[in-house]
Amino acid sequence: MPGPFALFKWQAVLRDWQVFAEGFGMTILVSVLALVLALVLGILFGMMGTAQTKPLRYLNRIYVEFIQNTPLVIQIFFLYNGLPYLGVMLPVFWVGMLGIGVYHGAYVAEVVRAGILSTPKGQFEAAYAQGFSYWGAMRYVILPQAKRMAYPPLTNLAVNLIKNTSVMAMVAGGELMYHADSWASSNLYYGPAYIITGLLYIAICLPLATYAKYLERRLEVSS
């Protein structure tokens, strides 16, 4: 009796490997670009969160709270189906990259803010005493120290970001999950399709997660 995992279904997956490879490539590309965007936004807004000027801190709170308290699915859906009504038709690749990048940027901002706050206040005072401006002290004294604290949680965020690219499947994004859904729902060989897809996600996420563990351990030793 051919169950969901019958041999001929596995053979079909292997025969159509290009479908999965194409999606996998897209997932990696979106992940890398979204990660860069998330880091840039996160560092910028993270520093704003610890700034002395109130408007900057407010800006940080608005961004972080708004993004963290709405589901990614709705944000993506808005970018895809909402913006066209305002005359902005972003290609689906941009929808994915911007949506996922901006979403994770908020989380990165919180990690960066925590990293800065965990740096002893004396470091700031010492930097000021040496004639550094606020941004100068940030750039050369505080951030290099905050970086060490922030690395392990940032790596975990990167893992989450990769997994979250799968929301693009909802808007025909052409990444791994979309191709898996499309392939599996046409021939209904869903068993092997989703196992292979899961394994491909593990293949990129597990090394990153292991790297995070390693960084954490190193942090414990050095502090």
Yes or no: say if 79 and 90 are a contact pair by the CB < 8 Å rule. Answer: yes
CA–CA separation, 156 and 35 (whole Å): 12
Closest CA to 63 of 90, 86, 43: 43
Under rule CB under 8 A, residue 74 binds other proteins: no
Can you read off the two tokens belonging to residue 121? 């206040």
CB of 36 to other proteins, least distance (A): 26
Yes or no: say if 156 and 183 are a contact pair by the CB < 8 Å rule. Answer: no
Among 139, 190, 209, 215, binds other proteins (CB under 8 A): 190
Under rule CB under 8 A, residue 188 binds other proteins: yes
Closest CA to 110 of 71, 149, 141: 149
Residues 21-40 that bind other proteins (CB under 8 A): none
Query: What would you measure as the largest C-alpha separation in the chain, in angstroms?
Result: 78
Under rule CB under 8 A, residue 79 binds other proteins: no
Q: Which is nearer to other proteins, 27 or 119 (CB)?
A: 27
CA–CA separation, 150 and 115 (whole Å): 6
Under rule CB under 8 A, residue 170 binds other proteins: yes
CB of 3 to other proteins, least distance (A): 3
Q: How many residues bind other proteins (CB under 8 A)?
A: 30
Under rule CB under 8 A, residue 186 binds other proteins: yes
Q: List interacting residues with other proteins (CB under 8 A).
A: 1-9, 80-82, 84-85, 89, 169-172, 178, 181-182, 184-191
